[in-house]
């Protein structure tokens, strides 16, 4: 169970890194679209893509915590 909790911790860390790169890419894409393509939404809309990643990170952290507690 302890190894499985470490796996979920690693998945949570990986999700946080992927979240940072996805949000940065979407923000840059929105800025470019506003400048050159006439997007009407503000660039801050790109931060909405962080919500599903945040939920996944929280779920992984909770599962890792419960698995770690059960291993003791």
- Percentage with pLDDT > 90 across the chain: 96
| Of 62 and 71, the one with more pLDDT | 62
Instruction: Give the range of the structural domain holding residue 14, as residue numbers without chain letter.
Output: 2-71
Contact yes or no for 68/5 (Cβ under 8 A):
yes
Indicate the pTM of the whole model. Answer: 0.89
pLDDT at 53: 98
Structural domain count of the chain = 1
d(CA 21, CA 43): 16
CA–centroid distance for 41 within its chain: 22
Q: What is the mean pLDDT of residues 21-42?
A: 96
Residue 72 has pLDDT above 90, yes or no: no
- Percentage with pLDDT > 70 across the chain: 100
């Amino acid at each position: 169970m302890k190894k499985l909790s470490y796996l979920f911790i690693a998945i949570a860390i990986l999700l946080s890194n992927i979240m940072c790169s996805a949000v940065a890419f979407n923000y840059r894409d929105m800025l470019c679209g506003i400048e050159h393509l006439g997007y009407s939404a503000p660039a801050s809309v790109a931060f909405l893509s962080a919500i599903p990643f945040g939920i996944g990170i929280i779920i992984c952290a909770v599962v890792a915590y419960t698995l770690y507690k059960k291993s003791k």
